[in-house]
Amino acid sequence: MVSSSDIGRTMRPALDIVWFKRDLRLRDHAPLCRVMHNPRPILLLYIFEPDLIHDPHYSERHWRFVVQSLVDLQAQLSEFQTQVLVLQGAVQTVFDTLLSQCDIGNVYSHEEIGIELTYVRDRAMQQYFHQHHIKWTETPYSVVRRGLNHRQDWSKYWHEMMEKPCDDPDLAAIPFVSQTMVEQLTHQALAIQDIELPTPQWSESHPNFQIGGEKRAWHTYYSFLDQRGKSYARHISSPELSRKSCTRLSPYIAWGNITIKQTYQKLDTLNEADYQGWKRALSAMVSRLHWHCHFIQKFESECAMEMRPVNHAYQAYPYEIDQDVISRRLKAWKTGTTGIPIVDANMRAVIATGYINFRMRAMLVSVLSHHFNLDWRLGVKHLAAQFLDFEPGIHYPQFQMQAGVTGTNTIRLYNPIKQSQEKDPQGRFIKQWVPELREYPDDMVHTPWAISPMERQLFGIDEAGEYPTPVVDIEDAAKMARDRLWSFQKRPDVAKDARRILKKHIVPVSR
């Protein structure tokens, strides 16, 4: 006997869904390839999730970038008389609403290598789809393999996957639902109390931030390959010059406007005669594409590092425990008022623009964890919320590596004075972001605390004392940090867990 619920289900329009997450593009997109010539119409869906919107890893800059990426998708899809259904609400609530209007047979998406919140969400949605007799097909992210507990042949696999053709769908062969139906579903969803449209201010552009979208991703890549990338390897460590010479593709890769495979394969199309003198730059770029996947695989294989050190022994590391000291140092670090010019310049720059280069990111973590002796977990979400290119699988392994809590990596205790003098010798970057120091002579801007009262009077600088003195004595703090770091790394429990980590995550050297 056919039940009334079965009759109701068959009367609703049947469709399948491609659920976009961190894959906001239409090319090299395996789920879209899967639905070419699909027997059921295809609805494209993106959901702004309140839990993620309010999570401290994220800030408005991320959702603005996502909205810009969706605007780009909508413009491309207009040719096919369809649109992405974009809603704001809990994922299960959105699917409950869609199921009340449609018969959903299949859902297709990429696996998301995200924070614990998204992992828990996906486990819950697996159960939800099973209960509703919906088949959910997830496609691996890039070359990352879920559940991998070793790295045998990993490099070989990486190169093999990079050489395979991109998953470029024939969009004309996808039976998209009509734009009219998308509008109807939007209207029906908005009638539900817990579903909204994206926050309006996210549609407003910001002149200091890169603009999201597949088109912008390729424009940025072509501009790198045109001229500005030739100095990539030489300028990569400069806080000022890297802003132009680096690829600046990281937010587009993080949010899926462009893929690692696309960027890698594009290099094979370059005319060698047109790229004389680029060998070092392009080699450095390929190396970083490889490392990008390496770190995300590491995070996927040991995602608990979001909550604790990857080396379990570092749970006992002797961080500062005085709450007043912690509060004062952390506030100064987060606000760019530490009294250490290169540190403050970089923190202010990343807050204002969402970008600083890798060397300066590492230095900020080093100062937090080593000179200030603060638990890395106190700063990890703050920087995540600043980085426009926040990628959990990059952020957490890198943060822990620079904080020196892996027990396997070389301890990097960055000297901020040395970094300042070597990477910003004329102090141009510092003076741009720390206006209190703009009148200082170039050779004095790195260590303003060392200027004598007579020199201050002679040069007429900082008469009002606007710029703070350092919150720690840098040399003394570095000495104490070295003693802590090196002595702790020698502990038997650190060495024991380091062997476990190396066995699981180190890629064997090919012979």
Q: What's the number of CA atoms in the CB half-sphere (13 Å) around residue 238?
A: 18
Strand 135-139: give its sheet, edge to edge.
84-88, 42-48, 14-20, 103-110, 135-139
Structure confidence at residue 410 as a pLDDT band (50, 70, 90): confident
Virtual CA dihedral for 451, 453, 459, 464, nearest 10 degrees?
100
CATH number of 4-147+177-202: 3.40.50.620
User: What tokens were used for 323?
Assistant: 């709450």
Asked if 15 and 103 count as a contact pair (C-beta separation under 8 A), the reply is yes
The reported pLDDT for the residue numbered 511 is 42
Q: What one-character-per-residue DSSP string does 399-451 give?
A: HHHHHT-SSSSPP----HHHHHHHHSTT-HHHHHH-GGGTTS-GGGTT-GGG-
Distances (CA, A) of 200 to 60, 69, 84, 104, 204: 11, 15, 17, 29, 8
Per-residue pLDDT tens digits for 219-243: 999 999 998 999 999 999 999 999 9
Choose among 375, 377, 380, 378: nearest CA to 361. 380
Cα distances (Å, whole numbers) of residue 439 to 67, 335, 352, 381, 467: 40, 22, 22, 34, 12
368-393 pLDDT tens trace: 999 999 999 999 999 999 999 999 99
The reported pLDDT for the residue numbered 89 is 97
Question: Which of 48-52, 137-141, 227-231 comes out lowest in average pLDDT?
Answer: 227-231
CB neighbours (10 Å) of residue 191? 8
* Per-residue confidence (pLDDT) for residue 4, from 0 to 100: 38
Q: Quick check: 77 and 70 in contact, CB under 8 A?
A: no
Return the H-helix or E-strand segment holding 105.
Answer: strand 103-110
pLDDT of res. 464: 58
Q: What percent of the chain has pLDDT over 90?
A: 87
Q: Please state the rounded mean pLDDT for residues 21-49.
A: 98
**How do beta strands 42-48 and 14-20 pair?**
parallel
Residue 104 in this model has a pLDDT that exceeds 80:
yes
Pairing outcome for strands 14-20 and 103-110: parallel
Domain covering 308-505 in this structure, CATH number: 1.10.579.10
Single out the residue of 263, 174, 250 nearest to residue 212, CA to CA. Answer: 250
Nearest to 20 by CA among 232, 257, 201, 209: 257
What are the structural domain ranges in the chain?
Answer: 4-147+177-202, 214-303, 308-505
Q: How far apart are CA 138 and CA 55, in angstroms?
A: 24
Angle value at C-alpha 483, between 482 and 487, nearest 5 degrees: 110
Residue 6's pLDDT is 44
Q: 213 with 72: CB under 8 angstroms?
A: yes
What's the token pair of residue 182?
Answer: 């998308």
- Structure-block tokens of residue 141: 């992210």
Report the candidate in 326, 323, 357, 321 with the shortest Cα–Cα distance to residue 342: 357
The secondary structure of 331-385, three-state, reads HHHHHCCCCCHHHHHHHHHHHHHCCCCHHHHHHHHHHHHHHCCCCHHHCHHHHHH
Contacts of 208 (CB under 8 A, 6+ apart): 352, 353, 354
Structure tokens at 298: 């590491």
Indicate whether 121 pLDDT > 60.
yes
- Tell me the pLDDT band of 152, cut-offs 50, 70 and 90: confident
Q: Decide if pLDDT at 3 tops 60.
A: no
The pTM is what? 0.94
Band (pLDDT 50/70/90 cuts) for residue 503 is confident
For the range 122-128, what are the long-range contacts, defined as Cβ-Cβ under 8 Å and sequence gap of 24 or more? 124/92, 125/91, 125/92, 125/95, 128/92, 128/95
Across the range 406-425, mean pLDDT stands at 93
C-alpha span between 137 and 451 (Å, rounded): 64
Q: Which residues of 145-173 are buried (b: 16+ CB within 10 A; e: fewer)?
A: eeebeebeebbeebeeebeeeebebebee
pLDDT one-digit tens code per residue, 344-358: 999 999 999 999 999
Mean pLDDT value of segment 412-434: 96
How far apart CA 501 and CA 407 sit, in angstroms, is 9
pLDDT over 90 at 141, yes or no: yes
- Average pLDDT over every residue of 99-127: 97
Residues 216 and 213: their CA atoms lie apart, in Å, by 5
Instruction: Write down the pLDDT at residue 510.
Output: 52
Longest CA span, the chain: 97
Confidence of residue 8 (pLDDT cuts 50, 70, 90): very low
The predicted structure's pLDDT at residue 262:
98
pLDDT above 70 covers a percentage of the chain that reads: 96
Q: Find the distance separating the first CA and the last CA of the chain, reported in whole Å.
A: 66
Q: Is the dihedral of CA 158, 164, 169, 173 positive or negative?
A: negative
The pLDDT of residue 376 is 98
User: What is the reported pLDDT for 1?
Assistant: 39
Reported confidence tier of residue 7, pLDDT bands at 50, 70, 90:
very low
Asked whether residue 329 carries a pLDDT value surpassing 50, the answer given is yes
pLDDT average, residue stretch 454-480: 86
pLDDT in tens, 468-501: 999 999 999 999 999 999 999 999 999 999 999 8
Give pLDDT, residue 101: 95
SS3 for 153-213 is: CHHHHHHHHHHCCCCCCCHHHCCECCHHHHHHHHHHHHCCCCCECCCHHHHCCCCCCCCCC
Q: What is the pLDDT of residues 241-274, one digit of tens each?
A: 999 999 999 999 999 999 999 999 999 999 999 9
pLDDT value at residue 411: 86
Indicate the SS3 state at residue 314.
Answer: helix
pLDDT given at position 12? 86
Task: Summarize pLDDT for 158-209 with one digit per residue, the tens.
Answer: 999 999 999 999 999 999 999 999 999 999 999 988 999 999 999 999 999 9
User: What is the dihedral angle through the alpha carbons of 152, 156, 159, 161, rounded to the nearest 10 degrees?
Assistant: -60
Rounded-to-integer distance, Cα 503 and Cα 482, Å: 27
Q: Is the per-residue pLDDT at 507 higher than 80?
A: no
